[in-house]
Amino acid sequence: MPASKLKVVVTRRLPEPVETRMAELFDTQLATDDTPMDHEALVAAMQSCDVLVPTVTDRIDSRVLSRAGERLKLIAQFGAGVDNVDVATATQRGITVTNTPGVLTEDTADITMALMLAVPRRIVEGVKIVETDGFAGWSPTWMMGRRLGGKRLGIVGMGRIGQAVARRARAFGLQIHYHNRRRVSAAIEQELEATYWESLDQMLSRMDIVSINCPHTPATYHLLSQRRLKLMKPSAFLVNTARGEVIDEAALARMLQAGELAGAGLDVFEHEPAINPRLKKLANVVLLPHMGSATLESRIEMGEKVIINIKTFADGHKPPDRVIPAML
């Protein structure tokens, strides 16, 4: 089918240049507001189009897919993660799934590094003190944080983003350690001066800062469980810019409140958009509203990847960012 004849439904508002280009190329139904579709609206959209362009806020599970109808042939996810899509069921139903990997690597790594600085150096605490007129002048023993240089950074997930974080962290004098499902190449280890830990438990117990940079899959759900969190040193900091489900958020909140961890920087949460109320009350926690990839450049590049995937599919070829189910 010619690309111009493809009916494309977009579930959320996208950057204006992306929406304009999609409207030029396809028979596109754009979102009129920026609220997530509910279950029935999502089903209706899937039944009416050839291509659905969802985001990570759209839960496309087997229950939704069972009602998708016969017309839908491509789910072109606007985002790198696809944990919101039942890829295996979609594939079984003859629906191709694509995503937008790679383009958000540098921006997410920047936010990770920002949190890694903000929490140990108490930057947000300092901002709040100034804003509430609590600054009474410099003192040798006031607002002391912790130095980054010389500390051990443990990266959980050494993919594109994990490696980008490691490059930034080295510039701040951090020692790079990592745990990954598979060990990276010797060349990458040498470039990053990175030490591989086959045992996540052993790595966690020895790190000063831990950065979560792995995807959310059934295997990584609560990867940092209460048991594993308790392995960390009381002086350690935890940063998560990956997915909230990777950490047992309730256990993390209890430990931070009890002083069993020094602090945390979180850009993602287990039950987004809900956030554990305990976390909001803690001075040693910096919370961001899932803004790791929120730059105009990144979001436009994500949209360009979506468009390329749709056009390639329309031309009868395999899209470059096709997602293969884990079982295949």
Statement to judge: residues 110 and 97 lie in one domain: no
The set of catalytic residues is 243, 272, 290
Chain segment 43-87, per-residue pLDDT in tens: 999 999 999 999 999 999 999 999 999 999 999 999 998 999 999
> Has residue 320 been placed in a domain?
no
Strand partners, 7: 27
Same domain, 222 and 304: no
Token pair recorded at residue 131: 């804003």
Q: Domain check: are 195 and 249 in the same one? A: yes
In a domain, 321, yes or no: no
Does 278 share its domain with 201?
A: yes
Give the list of residues 6+ apart from residue 321 with CB closer than 8 angstroms, or none. Answer: 98, 99, 100, 101, 305, 308, 309
Closest CA to 302 of 111, 56, 77: 77
pLDDT at 2: 72
Is 135 found in the same domain as 280? yes
| Neighbouring C-beta atoms of residue 85, cutoff 10 Å | 25
List, for residues 149-174, the tens digit of each pLDDT value: 999 999 999 999 999 999 999 999 99
pTM of model > 0.85: yes
- Average pLDDT of the segment spanning 21-27: 96
Q: Are residues 215 and 89 in the same domain?
A: no
pLDDT, residue 1, reads: 65
Domain assignment present for residue 79? The answer is yes
Domain range enclosing 97: 3-101+295-314
**One domain, residues 306 and 280:** no
Flag whether 322 is in a domain: no
Per-residue pLDDT tens digits for 171-198? 999 999 999 999 999 999 999 999 999 9
At 104-114, the pLDDT tens digits run 999 999 999 99
Indicate if 281 and 184 belong to the same structural domain.
yes
Structural domains counted in the chain: 2
Q: Which residue has the tokens 């790079």?
A: 176
Q: How far apart are CA 241 and CA 239, in angstroms?
A: 7
Quick check: bond before 273 cis, omega within 30? yes
Q: Are residues 91 and 208 in the same domain?
A: no
Q: What average pLDDT does this structure show over 252-279?
A: 97
157 within a domain of the structure (yes/no): yes
Residue range 224-261, pLDDT digits in tens: 999 999 999 999 999 999 999 999 999 999 999 999 99
Do 261 and 127 reside in the same domain of the chain? yes
3-state secondary structure 117-173: HHCCCCHHHHHHHHHCCCCCCCCCCCCCCCCCCCCEEEEECCCHHHHHHHHHHHHCC
User: For the domain that residue 302 is a member of, what is the CATH number?
Assistant: 3.40.50.720
Residues 28 and 110 placed together within one structural domain of the fold = no
| 319 in a structural domain | no
